[in-house]
Amino acid sequence: MTSKAIAIVAGVGPGTGAAVARRFAAAYPVVLLARSPENYESLAKEINSSGGKALGISTDVSSPESLKQAFAAIEQEFPNAPIAAAIFNASGRFVRKPLLELTLEEFSAGHDVSVKGAFLFSQLVLPNLVKHAEDSSAKYPPTLIFTGATASVKANALMSSFASAKFAMRALSTSIAKEFAPKGVHVAHAIIDGVIDIPRTREWLKDAPPEAKIGADDIAESYWNLSTQGKRAFTNEIDIRPMLEKW
């Protein structure tokens, strides 16, 4: 007998991560991974008190040990549960600086989360996704989604840290997509091209109409749609931008 499938969201903050968690919570128990409890506590409460099920776990996705502990906790709470969807939404600190002013640590910050973290997270979820893909009772092919950015395809001046990390994560996503699609796992990369409307960006574009920013709920809906595609129509990359974005 198969346990109920779950969804895991790595990188839950007040924006995309939370919206994605809410959206997937309508269908699955969700696991919320974030560095600090304040990023998931109220969200977990909200989901748990409104008919869903959420488990928050403090996790540093760039640490193999921290991730291993998180997955042990997931296994304890949801033993043998197939993962229907795993969303890697974590992102390192954003450092916009002239190249000659960057410390090695600042330059590497993007890599630690977006590349190393994405790699470690993928290694932990993929065996489960492959197994779930062979499970004929699964409603949709199991899905692994990576959240990218403008910088995933465009490397601007002063953005060397973020862009090199995001380019690398996109390559990782594509390589995994090609290796695991034949095993039935759906891997997708989303280029989020614009400012997401979250508390932290409230002051940005503040005189512009709402359509100048991306709605986190809208991203979540697009992720949900990706996760429900069948084996005969995998989308491996989408871009998402608000209607007023210049590109």
Footprint of its own copies on residues 141-180 (CB under 8 A)?
A: 141, 151, 155-160, 163-176, 178-180
Quick one: 102 or 138, whose CB is closer to its own copies? Answer: 102
Under the criterion CB under 8 A, does residue 229 sit at the interface with its own copies? yes
The residue written with tokens 């990359």 in the block is: 237
Question: What is the torsion angle, in degrees rounded to the nearest 10, for the CA atoms of residue 96, residue 98, residue 104 and residue 108?
Answer: 30
Under the criterion CB under 8 A, does residue 132 sit at the interface with its own copies? no
Q: Which stretch binds its own copies (CB under 8 A): 1-9, 48-56, 72-80, 108-116?
A: 108-116
Distance CA 147, CA 223 (A): 10
Under the criterion CB under 8 A, does residue 210 sit at the interface with its own copies? yes
Q: Is the dihedral of CA 131, 63, 47, 79 positive or negative?
A: positive
| Beta-sheet pairing, 6-10 with 186-192 | unpaired
Q: How many CA atoms lie within 13 A of 149 on its CB side?
A: 22
Q: Which residues pair with 26 in a beta bridge?
A: none
CB of 183 to its own copies, least distance (A): 9
Q: Which stretch binds its own copies (CB under 8 A): 52-60, 81-89, 102-110, 199-207?
A: 102-110
CB of 130 to its own copies, least distance (A): 9
Q: Which stretch binds its own copies (CB under 8 A): 1-9, 39-47, 81-89, 207-215?
A: 207-215
Distance CA 97, CA 20 (A): 30
CB of 136 to its own copies, least distance (A): 13
Residue 238 CA to chain centroid, in angstroms?
14
Q: Which of 176, 174, 155, 173 is closest to 164 using CA atoms?
A: 155
Under the criterion CB under 8 A, does residue 222 sit at the interface with its own copies? yes
User: Which of 49, 98, 199, 203: binder of its own copies (CB under 8 A)?
Assistant: 98
User: Which of 41, 46, 77, 221: binder of its own copies (CB under 8 A)?
Assistant: 221
User: How many C-beta atoms surround the C-beta of residue 135 within 10 A?
Assistant: 12
Quick one: 72 or 243, whose CB is closer to its own copies? Answer: 243
